[in-house]
Structure 1
């Protein structure tokens, strides 16, 4: 990920080296805020409707008011993309409750801090799409409202660091013997032409790509089983994959040093990825 030079902060477009927030911002003090990441293809936002649905849901969950209308904020994001001449990558958006004296309870009447930056990365031609990634399993140490896309990500950082120490690319987070999700991605397995993924609840983040993936899976003739699954099922799966904004869908070929499908990418993950690419390309060109 390579961040571009111009950022948006509280109504202004600024050089990233000149942008400043107060040390009393509740996002800095408490992690009191939410964030989103939206893919950019051909200089256009894609998965826009899915982004707005989850973004507004997270804001509502922590009683945080957003001062922009949808069309107004999308115009700001488009201008940010234009100012940075970005063709492909993503936009990171963060909203905190704002600046106040250190008080644990939600402080009312604050002006929220709103920041966005764009970054360059290969969404369509990710280096792992044809060779797959490696994952490890770790304990899920997070709080109990994982459906809120909170900026409090220390547990996820801890899990990702464990993965990197193990020379893996991602970590599946385990609770009560079952996989919740990846440290920064949604988790799926395919077994006997059935796509299995954990049902939505406050135990996982509602992945933006998840709804579309389930729809595409049905089109490809896969059955859908929304239930929790274990790492033993991951090891024995025909295919395993993850999804997130910056890479869409990536196959997993090894989990805890055990090869998945003999270390070979299966039949359906590339097809699901292609269908997703077709979906966002239509949005980018419309």
Structure 2
């Protein structure tokens, strides 16, 4: 039995019904978040929920629950679905209304849905590293909003998968921005580089944790754009996300990264991130 949270109630999956007039279906008019679960405990849930509210505010969407209520809801989904390692997905749309582009008048109640699923850590890939492919970043200019409008990301990811790659690396005007569902990092001469958190990328929660861990490890950090050409000669590349954690990149397009194995700083950050998980979960 899989339990979902839909419009204020916990219901079994087979009883979930969403209206065809939901604006998330018509327009992608909504926002979402994904929270990782380790050993049955939510990881960085406060940060994810805070970002959900930030994204909602940027599209003038009011979430009908408090941050504390959403965290408690997520915890109950984890327990009800017996999740040990996995994630909680949640989204809120502007609600159910006849199809017109402008906001409904009068306003309608937002639609909030969430569920929890099992999902093992990608440990084998984290040990070996993965291949990625560069693609043109043809998305809109508000990538800082974690919106439901992900068609460009889907197309980029599919292009990468069809090329035998794990991820698509977006390149805008010659500069690497981020992945289709990840943040990108490069290491050159011991310095860690990543695109600054502006409107061209989503400021990932795992990205923020890794930047903090890097500074704690004494790694010099530069949040500045770097070109695809610079990426191709980095000593190390890796990507981060809620589900991929710290994922080494061993090949970008047709170019091997460094020695073709996960780099030293990448491995240090993997170890530090794993330790951070254990500390947070143990203290939950």
Alignment partner of 1:275 out of 272, 276, 281: 272
Deviations 1:75-125 (A, max 9, x none): 1111111111000111111100000111111225211111111111123x5
Look up the match of 1:162. 159
Look up the match of 2:119. 121
- Across the two proteins, how many residue pairs are aligned to each other? 282
Look up the match of 1:50. 47
Look up the match of 1:176. 173
Look up the match of 2:281. 284
Contiguous gaps of at least 5 residues in structure 2:
none
Query: Which stretch of structure 1 is more off in the superposition, 133-142 or 15-24?
Result: 15-24
Contact 1:54–1:206, Cα closer than 8 Å, also in 2: no
Cα distance, 1:275 vs. partner?
Answer: 1.2
Deviations 1:113-142 (A, max 9, x none): 11111111123x532110001000001111
Q: Is 1:137 aligned to 2:140, yes or no? A: no
Question: With CA pairs under 8 Å and 6+ residues apart, which has the higher RCO, 1 or 2?
Answer: 1
Cα distance, 1:49 vs. partner?
Answer: 2.5
**Length-normalised TM-score, structure 2:** 0.96
Cα distance, 1:280 vs. partner?
Answer: 2.3
Look up the match of 1:41. 38
The 1-side partners of 2:155 and 2:58 are apart by 25
Contact 2:49–2:70, Cα closer than 8 Å, also in 1: no
Contiguous gaps of at least 5 residues in structure 1:
none
Q: Is 1:32 aligned to 2:29, yes or no? A: yes
Secondary structure, aligned partner of 1:67 = coil
Look up the match of 1:96. 93
The 2-side partners of 1:147 and 1:66 are apart by 18
Look up the match of 2:240. 243
The 2-side partners of 1:171 and 1:275 are apart by 26
Cα distance, 1:225 vs. partner?
Answer: 1.0
Query: Which stretch of structure 1 is more off in the superposition, 214-223 or 154-163?
Result: 214-223
Cα distance, 1:59 vs. partner?
Answer: 0.8
Look up the match of 2:14. 17
RMSD: 1.3
Look up the match of 1:85. 82
The 1-side partners of 2:103 and 2:203 are apart by 24
The 2-side partners of 1:283 and 1:113 are apart by 31
